[in-house]
Amino acid sequence: MAGPHYNSAMQIHGFPCTVIFAALVGTACGAFGQNITAPVDIAFSEGLDVSINGGTPIHFGIDTGLAWDFILTSEQARQLGLPVVGQHAIHTSDRQTVPGSNTDMIRAKTLTVGGHTFTDCAGLASPNFHHIDLGITLFRDELLTLDFPRNRLQITDGQLPPPNSRDILPYTTQPEASFRVLQVSPTVTIQLAGLTVPALLDTGAHTAPGDVIVPTGIAANLPLGPKVGTVTIGDALGRQFPSYLAQLNGDLTLGDVVVHHPMVLVSDWLGFIDLAHVSNRLVLTIDQRNHRLRVTMPDTAPSPAQ
């Protein structure tokens, strides 16, 4: 059964940017090949070359907050001859569904990235997508490493060691959630100025202006500095969510990773905490089979969002 996707346009001090979320529950891609080691040097701003059904490579982004194997525009899906296998309804967030919305569910026989081929891949196609991404379910049987500071991606076989509360951390999913991105994408435990809270690991929001997105109800319990900027987030139904940026008077802690005075985007656009721009500082390895996450922050990592 297919799940929801989310398309949100944000305008920050007059400059537009876009964040897209999606989700899927059902059969994900299979993979063939043993002892996989396929490091690929990539620049996230330029995209990753991906071949669909053996065709000419297309530039894709990668989004751990996207629970389809991949998403395309409707025109790209038509040009590739990908069959439509069903429809699914658009969600504007974890709480809102767009009445009567339909988005094409598509499938690809093969999808090749970094020299590794996945088979029978499930995707979405819509004329409303502003960019195209690979989602987390594509890598469900492999170790996926996203090294944002060095612009490096790696796909390997194997598993992470057991959690140690330092650099190897457990994560959870919410199989019962109606917003299906929460069913498959990692939710980790973080601390914000000493307050322990769950947060979605959402690398697709790494271009957002805040290191972390926090609902107003939780933000009220945080020691935030004065507002340093305002953000208007509009959902697919045209609803507006006035939001603002403020610096945390404290640390964001994830295992051994500590970010001093992160920038917080306070917004009720989502009903949960979302790790956003902070991803640019992290090296992440995701083991979906065992629900484990390795997270480190190199000394050369960029500064928090300003």
Q: How far apart are CA 306 and CA 300, in angstroms?
A: 17
Domain count, the chain: 2
Q: How far apart are CA 278 and CA 212, in angstroms?
A: 7
Handedness of CA 132, 136, 138, 144 (dihedral sign): positive
- The verdict on 248 and 144 lying in the same domain is no
What is the pLDDT, as a whole number, of residue 206? 87
- The verdict on 85 and 172 lying in the same domain is no
Provide Rg for the chain, Cα atoms.
18
Query: Does residue 272 belong to any structural domain of this protein?
Result: yes
Q: How far apart are CA 244 and CA 229, in angstroms?
A: 6
Domain closes at, from 126, 156, 186: 156
CATH of residue 179's domain is 2.40.70.10
What is the pLDDT, as a whole number, of residue 167? 97
Task: Please give the model's pTM, rounded to 2 decimal places.
Answer: 0.84
Q: Which amino acid belongs to residue 284?
A: L
- The verdict on 182 and 36 lying in the same domain is no
- The verdict on 105 and 33 lying in the same domain is yes
- The verdict on 75 and 116 lying in the same domain is yes
- The verdict on 64 and 115 lying in the same domain is yes
Reported as a single tens digit per residue, the pLDDT across 196-207 is 999 999 998 888
Q: How far apart are CA 124 and CA 201, in angstroms?
A: 21
- From residue 248, alpha-carbon distances to 203, 228, 294 in Å are 21, 11, 25
What is the pLDDT, as a whole number, of residue 32? 40
Query: Does residue 301 belong to any structural domain of this protein?
Result: no
Q: How far apart are CA 210 and CA 280, in angstroms?
A: 11
Domain closes at, from 123, 156, 189: 156
Question: Hey, what are 281's tokens?
Answer: 């500082």
- The verdict on 152 and 21 lying in the same domain is yes
3-state secondary structure the chain: CEEEEEEEEEEECCEEEEEEEEEECCCCCEECCCCCEEEEECECCCEEEEEECCCCCEEEEEECCECCCEEECHHHHHHHCCCEEEEECCECCCCCECCCCCEEEEEEEEEEECCEEEEEEEEEECCCCCCCEEEHHHHCCCEEEEECCCCEEEEECCCCCCCCCCCEEECECCCCCCCCHHHHCCEEEEEECCEEEEEEECHHHCCCCCCEEECHHHHCCCCEEEEEEEEEEECCCCCEEEEEEEEECCEEEECCEEEECCEEEECCCCCCCEECHHHHHCEEEEECCCCEEEEECCCCCCCCCC
Please check whether residue 135 is in contact with residue 146, taking contact to mean a CB–CB distance below 8 angstroms. no
- The verdict on 247 and 278 lying in the same domain is yes
Query: Does residue 304 belong to any structural domain of this protein?
Result: no
Query: Does residue 76 belong to any structural domain of this protein?
Result: yes
Reported as a single tens digit per residue, the pLDDT across 47-90 is 889 999 999 999 999 899 888 999 999 999 999 999 999 987 76
Bridge pairing between strands 283-287 and 143-147: antiparallel
What is the pLDDT, as a whole number, of residue 128? 77
- The verdict on 108 and 173 lying in the same domain is no
End-to-end CA separation in angstroms for the chain: 40
- The verdict on 7 and 131 lying in the same domain is yes
What is the pLDDT, as a whole number, of residue 40? 57
Query: Does residue 162 belong to any structural domain of this protein?
Result: no
- The verdict on 145 and 181 lying in the same domain is no
Can you list the residues of the chain whose pLDDT is less than 70? 1-45, 90-101, 235-238
Domain closes at, from 102, 132, 156: 156
Domain containing residue 29: 2-156
